Amino acid sequence: MNFHSCLLILSLFVLSNNVAIPTPHISAKKGDFAETVLMPGDPKRAKFIAEKYLENPVLVNDVRGVQGYTGTYKGKRVSVMASGMGMPSIGIYSYELFSAYDVKNIIRVGSAGSLNKDIKIKDLVVGVGASTNSNFAATYGLSGTISAIASFDLLRKADEVTKRLGLDKKTKFGNILSTDNFYADVHTALDWTKMGILAVEMEANALYLTAARLGKNALSICSISDEVLTGVELSSDERQVGFNEMMITALEIAIMD
């Protein structure tokens, strides 16, 4: 039996078994999470969203400092929990939320670097699809290449919400790049720009594939923190708390029927 066959068998075994509660990375009890979870990368951003926007937020997870909260927004239960950085990290947390805690929707709210000259600092980018240079999908043992795409229902809601909030002119829908390499040569990014990629981040591809495998819904909304083509960028503090329009958009999507 070759390596790829072993990998496929292991993947199918792992993915066919429900994760017990508490999970290896989440200490919450059954029912502690709402059906929709907002997922920033930064635990401090999760705390900021919970304290600024949720009514009566309760800390339901703090394993490894990855904070998760559940409260209400306009009377409806919503949760927010950090994913950490990179595809392996969001792959773990999204899998455990989907499979153990009956979460139906995860909306990533993060930062991204613009790869398009017309997309500027603090603009919003909604990932219709997430291309990648990662090998994350290899775990599924597919014989071809899978397209990682967002949930149509969440995309439809995102379109409706951004128009209602007057953000449609600064919001772009399209293909984004989920990369394993935070530090990369600019010319590498430009190759993706030629293919119409709008922005680069590090998580959406794994989130979309995990949701697809488990029959759940996922969406990535990113606020532009830097412009790769010009070198303009926000500070770390501005990235942590300065993306209010993105956060409100995600919350409004979360409470839509």
Q: Which of 102, 185, 226, 237 is catalytic?
A: 226
Average pLDDT over residues 66-76: 96
What contacts 93, CB < 8 A, 6 or more positions away? Answer: 25, 26, 39, 66, 81, 82, 83, 84
Domain 3-254 in this protein, CATH class: alpha beta
In the predicted structure, residue 137 carries a pLDDT above the cut 50: yes
Q: Which of 72-76, 125-129, 196-200, 237-241 is predicted least confidently?
A: 237-241
Looking at the DSSP assignment, which residues form a beta bridge with residue 212? Answer: none
In the predicted structure, residue 70 carries a pLDDT above the cut 80: yes
Average pLDDT over residues 189-202: 92
What secondary structure letter does DSSP report for 251?
Answer: H
Q: Which of 6-10, 112-116, 208-212 is predicted least confidently?
A: 6-10
Query: In the chain, what's the furthest Cα-to-Cα distance?
Result: 57
Average pLDDT over residues 125-145: 94
| pLDDT given for residue 24 in this prediction | 80
Average pLDDT over residues 234-247: 76
Strands 76-81, 36-39: parallel, antiparallel or unpaired by DSSP?
parallel
In the predicted structure, residue 138 carries a pLDDT above the cut 80: yes
> Which residue has better confidence, 1 or 235?
235
Average pLDDT over residues 96-117: 95
CA-nearest of 247, 254, 250, 235 to 47 is: 247
Q: Which of 62-66, 79-83, 126-130, 136-140 is predicted least confidently?
A: 62-66
What is the residue-averaged pLDDT of the chain?
89
The string over 38-65, giving b where at least 16 C-beta atoms fall within 10 Å of a residue's C-beta and e elsewhere, is: bbbbbbebbbbbbeebbeebeebbeeee
In the predicted structure, residue 32 carries a pLDDT above the cut 70: yes
Domain spans of the chain? 3-254
Strands 105-114, 217-227: parallel, antiparallel or unpaired by DSSP?
parallel
> Which residue has better confidence, 184 or 70?
70
| pLDDT given for residue 63 in this prediction | 84
Catalytic residue flag (residue 118): no
In the predicted structure, residue 3 carries a pLDDT above the cut 60: no
- In percent, the amount of the chain with pLDDT more than 90 equals 75
CA-nearest of 124, 79, 81, 145 to 220 is: 124
Q: What is the pTM of this model?
A: 0.90
What is the distance between the alpha carbons of residues 167 and 209, in angstroms, rounded to a whole number?
A: 28
Sign of CA dihedral 144, 150, 156, 162: negative
